[in-house]
Amino acid sequence: MSHHSCVSLKVILYRGLPVFYLLIATAEAILAFARLLSLSGGSNLIRDNAQVGAGFVLDCISSGTAILTGILIYVSLAIFVLSCICVICTGKRSGTCCSQQICQPAILRFVTLNCNFPFYVTRPKNRFRHRMIFLVSSSILRLVAVIIYATVKSGDIDGRQSQVALLCGISVLCPLCMILLDIFRYRIWWHYRPSCDDDRSYQRLSPKHVRFLPYHLLGDNRSMIVPGNQPCINQNTCTKRELEHIMIFHSSKYKPQLRWTELSNSDREKGIYVGFHCTTPEAAVSIAHSDFRINNKPPQMLGFGVYFARSIKGTERKARHSGATICAEVQMGKVKEVTWSQLYTVSNSRRWWKDYDTVYYVHANPNRDEFCVKDPSQILRWVIVVNEAYDANVQRFRLNHEFENTQCGWV
């Protein structure tokens, strides 16, 4: 299978997730009601046998969501049927077909109890973690219920416990299938790959590469009026230095640290500084799979090396290439500070390499400071964002629209 075919298959699977969740939830609900009927039919096993009763309690706890989902599905289907009958009897067709209404993403999420909190827009790992805790707990409880059902002595009751144990065992596959779907959804968000990387998606990424970020997660897209999807409340006083936090919860004008010349002695001794680098999408993908490369082609104002600015806006103003932005954690080492009048001592040369690791240009305008490191090994880790014009995968997967149809603030 070609890489483009593989990507197309992923797109189809991802966009079909609400339907897959609904099918699994429906199967789980049917199995739950079948177990309930089997236990309550004839003599009441739950009442007559304490061990079956204990298994039933665990089964109900682990299948509570399935039962509720089943009720919601049946109610939704009833509404759908009544709507169709109403349309047929009155001869009036509403602007939107009732079948389309019943298949709305919010409806599908509601009947499968799959939350869509705005909080999860920027925190896909949290959604994955919460879902895993819930689904794994349900699976464990149901497995215990299977064991209890299966170990009931057949002489004590009429043998229906074997049928219930079988149905309960089959139902364990439902949360396991949902776990697989959640892993797939999590990987699309957290291990996102832009379309310009499709042809190299099989190649190993650099150990320094943290992740690609979808462009719609950048901080300029946060909203003060949407709870859970707001920018960092600390704004310019924020002390967090996680690269994802900087890119996701702060605007493009945000500078994570003071100017190098204004840092405290202890911070300068640590030598860790956050920088922003702008380049082409092709170069960004190459960096993700290998490392940065030194630019040896004049003119180079601060000499030969890898250049960084203090903010996204800062690097966009200075960069010769555009299309992708990299936020990196840099080990500054020994720093040579220069002003405009001292640029001639470092420009278009490697002379400073012998005594220094980094050149920091103290611009007359603090927003336009930049620095150059001599060795890519000084760049410790990075995250990459490819601009919308060069990345079609966000639109293909509809990641930027996934939370637009959230209803009631959570579904």
DSSP string spanning 213-269?
Answer: E-GGGSGGG--TTSTTSPPPTTGGG-----HHHHHHHS-TT--SS--GGGS-HHHHH
Sequence-distant (≥ 6) Cβ neighbours of residue 294 within 8 angstroms: 304, 305, 306, 374, 375, 376
Tokens of 267: 């911070």
Q: How many CB atoms lie within 10 A of CB 194?
A: 25
pLDDT, mean of residues 215-233: 91
Mean pLDDT of the chain: 88
Per the listing, tokens 């590469």 go with 209
Judge whether residue 411 has pLDDT over 70.
no
Per the listing, tokens 């896909």 go with 124
Following CA atoms 318, 321, 322, 326 in sequence, which dihedral angle do they give, to the nearest 10 degrees? -70
The DSSP secondary structure of 102-145, one letter per residue, reads HT-HHHHHHHTT----GGGTS-HHHHHHHHHHHHHHHHHHHHHH
Q: Measured between alpha carbons, how far is 411 from 128 in angstroms, rounded to an integer?
A: 16
pLDDT, mean of residues 358-366: 96
Name the helix (H) or strand (E) containing 371.
strand 370-373
CB 194 within 8 A of CB 395: no
pLDDT, mean of residues 239-261: 96
363 band by pLDDT with thresholds 50, 70 and 90 = very high
Q: How many CB atoms lie within 10 A of CB 270?
A: 12
14 band by pLDDT with thresholds 50, 70 and 90 = very high
> How confident is the model over 132-163, as pLDDT tens digits?
999 999 999 999 999 999 888 765 555 677 88
* pLDDT for the residue 158: 59
pLDDT, mean of residues 273-280: 97
320 band by pLDDT with thresholds 50, 70 and 90 = confident
95 band by pLDDT with thresholds 50, 70 and 90 = very low
Sign of the alpha-carbon dihedral angle for 210, 213, 219, 220 = positive
Q: Measured between alpha carbons, how far is 94 from 312 in angstroms, rounded to an integer?
A: 48
Name the helix (H) or strand (E) containing 359.
strand 358-361
84 band by pLDDT with thresholds 50, 70 and 90 = confident
The vertex-235 CA angle with 363 and 364, nearest 5°, equals: 10
pLDDT, mean of residues 340-349: 96
CB 205 within 8 A of CB 214: no
Determine the distance from the C-alpha atom of residue 200 to the mean position of all C-alpha atoms in its chain, rounded to a whole number: 21
What percentage of the chain reaches a pLDDT higher than 90? 60
Topology of domain 203-390, CATH: Phosphoenolpyruvate Carboxykinase; domain 3 (3.90.228)
Q: Which residues pair with 358 in a beta bridge?
A: 335, 373
Domain ranges of the chain: 3-193+397-401, 203-390
What percentage of the chain reaches a pLDDT higher than 70? 89
Q: Measured between alpha carbons, how far is 349 from 56 in angstroms, rounded to an integer?
A: 77
More confident residue, 411 or 132: 132
> How confident is the model over 184-195, as pLDDT tens digits?
999 999 999 999
Radius of gyration, alpha carbons of the chain: 29
78 band by pLDDT with thresholds 50, 70 and 90 = confident
Q: How many residues does the chain have?
A: 411
